[in-house]
Chains A and B, each alone.
Chain A
Amino acid sequence: MARAATTADAFNAVAEPRRRQILDVLASGERPVNDLVLQLGLAQPQVSKHLRVLREVGAVDVRESGRQRLYRLNGNALKPIHDWVKEYERTWSERFDQLDVVLEDLMEKEEDDGNDD
């Protein structure tokens, strides 16, 4: 299947397992790059490279704090992915709303029929 080479959207940015690990760590709070290096057991240049991709799609923000740069998760950039699963959920919700109606009919019918089966 044809795949876009670009990493410039959230879907591609999170397709890489290491980048998901970084997001996992950042989900619990803001971190300097050294923390991420320790937690992931990767070399700093690799972590920096992943952070750059995540920053490009806006999934991660950075701010200066004294001599440190602190990275944090920006959930809004990942919203397209969230919305995507939500759409699947909506389909099932509407399907089940219809099933509710069918079940109501069955309940009424069973009451009418009594115990004759």
Chain B
Amino acid sequence: MAMTTSGTATVTLPTDTQILITREFAAPRHMVYKAWTTPELVQRWWHANRGEMAACEIDLRVGGMWRYVMVTPDGLEVAFHGEYREIVPNERLVSTEVFEGIPDAEEHAALDTLTLTEMDGRTTVTVLVEHPTKEGRDMHINSGMEDGMQDAMDLLEQVAVSLG
């Protein structure tokens, strides 16, 4: 696999129903895990500069719920929630993810797997998002963006290469 460029998240679509996000961080993995699972810290980065966090709840135990809400400058509320399924501190976190802004949101719940791998004090983060359907995945990618683009494609990676 190609190395991720520091400062840039790499997003690929491994299959019709998956999204894979990868990024390397200049910190040991127990810190990345802490920043990922502590509400006061999540509030500082999850908004991606697209709004302010209106809620950030984390009940970090198997069966516990999480919920993140962001409000954009024009008042749009973007909310996600889910349930923790598997917790291996500093290594692996599996949870469901529901984007509340789509019809039949619960049916389209994705399964997210966070994996932290440390080498020489640096941590590679991978987030694998698995949707039950291709439509669900495309809606997820589209979340918070304009509507009408639900049909992405698995060809994308080759095409991206052909664009140079």
> Complex Cα distance A75/B155, Å?
11
A82 adjacent to B163 (CB under 8 Å): yes
> Complex Cα distance A30/B8, Å?
33
Max chain B C-beta neighbours (<10 A), residue from A12, A81, A93, A102 = A102
A97 adjacent to B7 (CB under 8 Å): yes
Q: Which residues of B contact A110 (CB under 8 A)?
A: 31
A23 at the interface (CB under 8 A from B): yes
B60 at the interface (CB under 8 A from A): no
B11 at the interface (CB under 8 A from A): yes
Chain B interface, DSSP helix/strand/loop, else mixed: loop
Could you mark each residue 133-164 of chain B with 1 if its beta carbon is under 8 Å from any beta carbon of chain A, else 0? Answer: 00000000110110011111111101110111
Interface residues on B, range: 35 or more
Q: Which residues of A contact B41 (CB under 8 A)?
A: 102, 106
B152 adjacent to A85 (CB under 8 Å): yes
A81 adjacent to B163 (CB under 8 Å): no
Could you mark each residue 30-43 of chain B with 1 if its beta carbon is under 8 Å from any beta carbon of chain A, else 0? Answer: 01101100000100
A107 adjacent to B31 (CB under 8 Å): yes
> Complex Cα distance A98/B45, Å?
5
Least CB distance, A13 to chain B, in whole angstroms: 9
- 6 A-B pairs (CB sep. < 8 Å): A11-B148, A11-B149, A27-B158, A84-B152, A98-B48, A106-B41
